[in-house]
Structure 1
Amino acid sequence: MKQILAVDDSMSMRMLLRASLTAAGFKVEEAEDGRAALEWLDNNSPTLVITDINMPRLDGFGLIAELRARDRFRDIPVLVLTTESSPEKKARAREAGATGWIVKPFDPEKLAAAVRRVTH
């Protein structure tokens, strides 16, 4: 079963992600910010990371940069899930190494399709 790490400082958003992705057949782990995600990733290797951008301690851009700096996570797909939709933010996420971008609120079917697309 494909394991996904959902990183968002909003507990309700993490719960929505868990409900949507579990229903689509994925196993979902959660972290409340980039720091917590990196701590979890020290001992785990998910198939995909979904991250918010605006979070305390370590934001999504910082998390993506940290993942890309580590050999074992250099090629892991990272989807950005955020309320932000500016071209500048999208470009910055791409430059950091994001695989794709999904705007909140998300459609569960489209999210599951995007996850399947990047994790084949």
Structure 2
Amino acid sequence: MAKTILVVDDSSSLRQVVSIALKGAGYDTIEACDGKDALGKIGGRKVHLIISDVNMPVMDGISFVKEVKKLPEHRFTPVIMLTTESQEAKKLEGQAAGAKAWVVKPFLPAQMLAAVSKLVLP
């Protein structure tokens, strides 16, 4: 059975690019437009990995990661932040919230898929 990856970004074109790359590598995807939307979509579903933007309306990526980590079924779900943010302070904030990797946009799909394959839950 394919593993499911949640893609959270306020840019629909970016969600589409990431989803196409992931589907091409054999993953299923769930797409959400911000943290709040994502929290609504993962309730009760097994998600093997989350890829999230940092800067989004309604609920930003770091707040979203903090909320996800409070959910017992998603406490150990790995999170990759996919963002234009490259400052060390933001990265540390993301790590403190529970992010396992930080990929800066623009990114190469191969680079993102390498991070995904290392972190995705069995």
TM-score band, normalised by shorter chain: over 0.9
Amino acid of the structure 1 residue aligned with 2:102: W
2-side partners of 1:45 and 1:37: how far apart?
13
What does 1:42-61 correspond to in 2, within 5 Å? 42-61=43-62
1:22 aligns with 2:23: yes
1:92 aligns with 2:93: yes
Offset from partner CA, 1:6-31 (integer Å, 9 cap, x none): 00000010011011111111111100
Offset from partner CA, 1:70-94 (integer Å, 9 cap, x none): 1111100000000000000000000
2-side partners of 1:41 and 1:62: how far apart?
16
1:58 CA displacement? 0.5
2-side partners of 1:59 and 1:45: how far apart?
22
Number of the residue aligned with 1:114: 115
Give the alignment's TM-score, normalised by structure 2. Answer: 0.95
1:43 CA displacement? 3.2
Identity of aligned residues (%): 41
Give the alignment's TM-score, normalised by structure 1. Answer: 0.96
**SS state of the match for residue 49, structure 1?**
strand
Unpaired segments ≥5 residues, structure 1? none
Unpaired segments ≥5 residues, structure 2? none
Amino acid of the structure 1 residue aligned with 2:115: A
1:45 CA displacement? 1.9
Report runs of 4+ in structure 1 exceeding 4 Å deviation: none
**CA RMSD, Structure 1 to Structure 2 (Å):** 0.9
**SS state of the match for residue 18, structure 2?**
helix
1-side partners of 2:53 and 2:20: how far apart?
17
Amino acid of the structure 2 residue aligned with 1:26: Y
Aligned length: 120
